[in-house]
Amino acid sequence: MGFLFNLIIISSKIKCLLDGCDDWDVSADLPEWDSHPSIIKETRLRPDIVIHSASTQLLIMVELTVPYDNRMEEAHIYKREKYMNLTKELENAGYKAVVMPVAVGARGFVGSSVYDLLTKLSICGNKRTKALKLLAEIAENSSRWIWSRRNEKFLHKD
């Protein structure tokens, strides 16, 4: 009985966010990417990644932070609160909105939030393992890049 119960909880927890339609579009807050749907652009928040489906009016907003490793939890809570209002607004406008704050520590610690996101997007097994490793490596490399230029003026806004 207990075993079955656990199984049911696990399977509902990892339900794929992308089930139910196949017209997903991805936009990112980066110059070379498509811009966000207009409903998002009207707000003053700019989520890092928006995965959205016009047919179901479902919006998945991915917000990335790269905190110091000892501030992962704090960063996560801050982001969740920051987006709570936006989620409500979108719901009032007839959308279904999901916010997925994810954190990759500046020194390469990939938080469980990333694991959860990948799983909910049906990125599992080997692909997920590779993605997690790559994310950790990019965070580490980027931190090294910043550190090695710590004395350069352009990194400091005085």
Ligand X SMILES: *[C@@H]1O[C@H](CO)[C@@H](O)[C@H](O)[C@H]1NC(C)=O
Summarize as ranges the residues that interact with ligand X (CB under 6 A): 82, 85, 134, 137-138, 141
Comparing CB distances to ligand X, the nearer of 71 and 82 is 82
Q: How far is the CB of 114 from ligand X (least distance, A)?
A: 15
Q: Do the bridges between strand 96-103 and strand 58-65 make them parallel or antiparallel, or are there none, so unpaired?
A: parallel
* Residue 82 beta carbon to ligand X: minimum distance, rounded to whole angstroms: 5
* Shortest separation between residue 142's beta carbon and ligand X, angstroms: 9
20: which DSSP letter?
Answer: T
Q: Is the dihedral of CA 82, 85, 88, 90 positive or negative?
A: negative
- Comparing CB distances to ligand X, the nearer of 18 and 131 is 131
Q: Which is nearer to ligand X, 77 or 134 (CB)?
A: 134
**Alpha-carbon span 30 to 41, nearest angstrom:** 14
**Distance from C-alpha of 34 to C-alpha of 136, rounded to nearest angstrom:** 26
